């Protein structure tokens, strides 16, 4: 019988202790993330399970928190896990905390390294696959996360600041510095994209996308003309001309045009019932004297009902315009009288709005009177605005473009 093969003990690898058999910290973290990733189902059309961290440094009234609020609903309906980093201020703070799969509280419009660290730990622990930020401060967080957590970053611009003075110049330099980081800029309109390029806050040689804002028309059923004051105007009854409701949504993150609106509400007080939302009375008082006839609704998490009560929606914005607010007002059936800034020119080209000079009360009065006296004009504007939303700004179109971007 052959002798069993004898191995030289010196050639044997040393026996490993239980401690040595444990994965390295980095490998252990990778295994945890892989386990989390595999435990979730991939949304339709995605290559694998997808988690998105949405960041906004505002939870009060404004386009950034409203966009995040809509995105949570859209993403979760597709099976995408949603984490939210935002302040806890009303009206959106509680909504974010309730709707997100995880909520990370951060300071209001203030950068914090502690908040950045909490986001970083969540990204690594839960295997977040995409970071999507909204607004300037949120963009600082996301682009730093892109470097330290090695995660793809999408940043949505909600207006490009035109703030003057030392403070404005400092903010512009920060934006230009952040433009060096690897991220995908996302704009709501071509005019916003061009403004960003002119300011140097995005690089011309980088990939960027324009995905126009969208409105869910199921929340805004068509209104019959008889249900609004404009539809009840009779030439033979002058008293019916001034029963219309004229409203403006004053954004808290922008101070451009608020003074002009207060001036219009004062000088044109006899031409309608003026109302505004977005700012509290205390915030609005910083921009001038508040006329006694002005109804101040304040911040709104969901302006659907308020917008649906308007006959005329007004924007006096003198810089970035009000793209999304105007779209929602159109969906609600209001006639839009908008400031003649580049962001609103597309609406005029589609004959879906009437533009005026926000610094001229006479120009506003002429535009308002033309709507009051010309039924065919206002019917055309309302009809065209609805058609424009159905064709170019539907939720389905928005989702298709956004998900294509996420998948890439």
Structural tokens at position 179? 């433009």
Token representation of residue 382: 């309302």
Beta-carbon contacts of 129 under 8 Å, excluding residues fewer than 6 positions away, are 48, 49, 50, 51, 52, 151, 152
Q: Which of 148, 132, 121, 113 has the alpha carbon at shortest distance from 55? A: 132
For residues 80 and 146, give the distance between their C-alpha atoms in angstroms, rounded to a whole number.
20
CB 151 within 8 A of CB 119: no
Element of type H or E holding 144: helix 136-148
Domains of the chain and CATH, by start: 47-214+395-407 (3.40.50.2000), 219-392 (3.40.50.2000)
Which structure tokens are listed for 393? 């700004």
Which among 337, 284, 283, 270 is positioned nearest to 310, based on CA atoms?
337
Residue-level pLDDT, tens digit, the chain, 408 residues: 445 545 455 555 555 555 555 555 556 655 555 554 455 667 878 888 899 999 999 998 778 898 999 999 999 999 999 999 999 998 899 999 999 999 999 999 899 999 999 999 999 999 999 999 999 999 999 999 999 999 999 999 987 776 778 888 888 898 999 999 999 999 988 888 988 999 999 999 989 999 988 999 998 988 766 556 676 666 666 666 678 999 999 987 677 899 999 999 999 998 999 999 999 999 999 999 999 989 999 988 889 999 999 999 999 998 777 888 999 999 999 999 999 998 899 999 999 999 999 999 999 999 999 998 898 999 999 999 999 999 999 999 999 999 999 998
Whole-prediction pTM? 0.78
Give the Cα-Cα-Cα angle 272, 277, 280 (nearest 5 degrees). Answer: 120
Let me know: does 184 contact 208? Beta carbons within 8 Å. yes
pLDDT at position 159, please? 77
Distance between CA atoms of residues 390 and 28, nearest Å: 50
Identify which of 102, 129, 154 has the alpha carbon closest to the alpha carbon of residue 47: 129
pLDDT in the model for residue 114: 97
The C-alpha atoms of residue 212 and residue 202 are separated, in whole angstroms, by 18
37 three-state secondary structure: helix
How much is the pLDDT for 340?
Answer: 95
Do 138 and 145 form a contact (C-beta atoms < 8 A)? no
């Amino acid at each position: 019988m052959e002798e069993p093969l004898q191995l030289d003990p010196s050639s044997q690898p040393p026996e490993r202790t239980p401690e040595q058999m444990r994965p390295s910290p980095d490998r252990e973290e990778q295994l945890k993330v892989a386990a989390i990733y595999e435990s979730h189902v991939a949304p339709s059309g995605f290559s694998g399970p997808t988690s998105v961290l949405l960041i906004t440094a505002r939870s009060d009234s404004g386009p950034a928190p409203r966009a995040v609020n809509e995105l949570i609903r859209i993403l979760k309906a597709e099976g995408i896990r949603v984490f939210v980093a935002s302040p806890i201020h009303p009206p959106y703070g509680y909504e974010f905390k309730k709707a997100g799969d995880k909520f990370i509280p951060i300071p209001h419009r203030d950068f914090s390294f502690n908040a950045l660290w909490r986001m970083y730990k969540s990204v690594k622990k839960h295997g977040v696959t995409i970071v999507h930020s909204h607004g300037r401060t949120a963009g600082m967080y996301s682009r730093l996360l892109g470097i330290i957590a090695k995660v793809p970053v999408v940043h949505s611009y909600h207006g490009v600041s035109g703030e003057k003075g030392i403070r404005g110049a400092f903010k512009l330099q920060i934006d230009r510095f952040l433009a060096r980081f690897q991220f995908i800029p996302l704009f709501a309109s071509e005019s916003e994209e061009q403004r960003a390029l002119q300011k140097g806050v995005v690089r011309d040689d980088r990939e960027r996308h324009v995905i126009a804002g969208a409105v869910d028309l199921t929340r805004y059923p068509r209104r019959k003309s008889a249900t609004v004051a404009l539809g009840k105007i009779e030439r033979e009854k002058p008293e019916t001309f001034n029963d219309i409701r004229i409203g403006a949504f004053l954004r808290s993150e922008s101070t451009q045009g608020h003074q002009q609106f207060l001036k219009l509400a004062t000088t044109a007080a006899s031409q309608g019932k003026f109302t505004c939302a977005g700012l509290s009375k205390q915030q609005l008082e910083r921009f001038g004297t508040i006329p006694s006839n002005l109804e101040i609704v304040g911040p709104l998490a969901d302006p659907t009902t308020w917008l649906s009560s308007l006959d005329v929606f007004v924007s006096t914005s003198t810089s970035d315009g009000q793209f999304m607010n105007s779209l929602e007002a159109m969906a609600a059936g209001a006639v839009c009288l908008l400031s003649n800034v580049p962001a609103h020119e597309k609406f005029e080209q589609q004959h879906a709005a009437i533009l005026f000079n926000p610094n001229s009360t006479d120009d506003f009065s002429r535009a308002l009177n033309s709507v009051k006296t010309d039924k065919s004009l206002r019917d055309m504007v309302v009809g065209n605005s609805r058609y424009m939303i159905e064709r170019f700004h539907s939720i389905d179109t928005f989702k298709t473009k956004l998900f294509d971007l996420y998948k890439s």
